[in-house]
Amino acid sequence: MGLIAPSVLTVSPSHFEPNIIMSVNQASGYTRTLAGGNPRVQLDSEDKMIYIRTAQVRTTMLQNPATGNVVPNPNIVMGMIQCPTYNQRIRTEYDHHDTAMASKWGLGLPEAYKYAMQQGHHLLLRDRTLYGALPGYGEGIVNTPGATTITLPPDTFGDTAAHNYDSGQMALFLAQQILAIKTRTYQLGTPRRFTFLGPQRILGIFEYNVVQLTSYQRPGAGTGSTLEMLKQIGIEAGNDVVEFAYDDSLIGQGTGGTDLVILIMPEIEPHLKQPLDTNMFAKLSQGFNDNSLLYTDMVAPLEIPTPLPGGAIDVLTEMRASPGWVVRPECLQLISMPY
């Protein structure tokens, strides 16, 4: 189905508002879960797979009052991980009658189709990032093999649902999840960015509630929200950046039909740049500090207009992209929360 622009009967004299009321859909914050907040535009249009090399080291040492003669070697193990890519396409066809009829409604049809197709591509990229094209193969952030999954435990009052949960205890619970990630990734003492991605009906509660005075003895206690308390904890603990992003497609995606909240640390700093460093091997290659990736072959979909018989035009848009790929699963925490 293409353009629907019916004829209408109006009264004269009358006044027409020059603007159009557009339908509003949710602008997903899924890109905040990616390293740098954007896809990596590195693919060729025909690349079918992405490969990343890995290196692990196990060093054995010898110490002895006398000089040892049999000295062990460090063991360096190279490996490779891979991820597929998929080509996505959307097309439309229209002629000069469609364009003229749309103009009667104050709509520029070529531009309208352009944005409509781009929105379709972006929706597919969102689905690909979170759920992958083949979820059973571990594609997408939600299906990451090795990710830590947890269900919201009851608070001290026995409440397990997010809308009844004690606001101060919720902030402490979320702070503990950040601590768990920083501990697993050895990032304590370094400032990092953390993104919570979840449904509006879950994360919105934490933005528009009030932490009780007895839970948070700080300036703003009694008026500050769970998010504000969480941000303050992160700043005081290690200058961490804590941000909330929203995506309602995560409703019902948690364990047992609960809502899913994704907590991820998209970037890492593997080498602390100190003279005596027990992680010195990481100094060998410091250019890849990304944890969560989405590869594409271009920033915006390629548009291919083609004339058709009868004066019509066909516009094909396409781009190639990978699923969401968490290359360090220890930076990811999947939290199931009943609403």
Residue 63's pLDDT band (cuts 50, 70, 90): confident
- Separation CA 194–CA 140 (nearest Å): 18
Sequence-distant (6+) residues with CB within 8 A of 119 are 25
Residues above pLDDT 70, as percent of the chain:
95
Question: Strands 148-151 and 332-337, how do they pair?
Answer: parallel
Sequence-distant (6+) residues with CB within 8 A of 146 are 329, 330
Tens of pLDDT, residue by residue over 269-304, are 876 667 788 888 877 877 788 999 999 999 999 999
The type of residue at 230 is L
- Separation CA 291–CA 313 (nearest Å): 43
Tens of pLDDT, residue by residue over 155-207, are 999 999 999 999 889 999 999 999 999 999 999 888 999 999 999 999 999 99
- Separation CA 249–CA 277 (nearest Å): 43
Q: Is the pLDDT of residue 220 over 80?
A: no
For tokens 């979820």, name the residue. Answer: 135
Which CATH topology does 27-64+71-339 take? Answer: phage-related protein like fold (3.90.1690)
